[in-house]
Structure 1
Amino acid sequence: MFVVIVNMRVEPGKLDDFRGALTENAEATRREPGCLRFDVLQTTDDPCAFVLHEIYRDEHAFFHEHRSASHYPSWKAASAACVVPGTHQNTYCVPAELLAPGKQDHQGR
């Protein structure tokens, strides 16, 4: 299992465009065989702040299958046009038991 948490802040005047692109991306991603879960969260105190919680079968499903999916380039372009520069952050996680002594993390360490 490989988890991706994405935090981003959207330009206030671009919320409608962003929501449309995000909806298309979420629906397409949920249909990917390697996607186990894709949640879209909008913070309650800031309508321009979003969190994506994505769970994939493994790293390959995210880094290779998801990022090479036919819908990904349009999502990448739309998010680049709508997200406030410098506010997009990806955090990559694996279940803690996979990082136990003697096991490697996703970068082979």
Structure 2
Amino acid sequence: MVFAVVVTIDVRPETIDEFTAGLHANAVATRAEPGCLRFDVLRTTDDPHRFVLYELYADEDAFFVGHRQAPHYPAWVTLCERCVPPGGRRNVYAVPAFPDEMTAHD
């Protein structure tokens, strides 16, 4: 079953350029993973230091195993340790409420 992850990240203002560059590299690499169906990066309109990631995977294993064991993932963890204050990253895990209505959008 499709598995979604919504991540909210608050970034230290003094690291915003470093974080944005690393986030872009992470997004490009994640989109190339076999189980990744979608990886959107959003920046909130009310706080330029807050990002929201919408990630959609083929199933839970594609996220918890495939994504987290991908070669680029350790660099992402290190980036977050430098740029995100403690408690500044929140993950919400979800599955479709109406899986039969899931359709692909370009």
Alignment map for 1:78-93 (pairs within 5 Å): 78-93=79-94
Consecutive unaligned residues in structure 1, runs of 5 or more: 99-109
Q: TM-score of the superposition, structure 1-length normalised?
A: 0.87
Q: Aligned partner of 1:35: which letter?
A: C
Give, in whole Å, the separation in 2 of the partners of 1:61 and 1:79. Answer: 21
Percent identical residues: 55
Aligned residues: 98
Q: Is the 8 A contact 1:8 1:84 kept in 2?
A: no
Runs of 4+ in 1 over 6 A off after TM superposition: none
Q: In the TM superposition, what is the alpha-carbon distance from 1:73 to its structure 2 partner?
A: 0.2
For residue 26 of structure 2, what is the aligned residue in structure 1?
25
Q: Indicate the residue corresponding to 2:12 in structure 1.
A: 11
Alpha-carbon RMSD: 0.9
Q: In structure 2, give the amino acid aligned to 1:34.
A: G
Secondary structure of 2:91's match?
strand
Task: Give the whole-Å Cα distance in 2 for the aligned partners of 1:8 and 1:91.
Answer: 12
Per-residue CA shift, 1:39-97, capped at 9, x if unaligned?
A: 00000111001100000000000000000000000011101110121121100000114
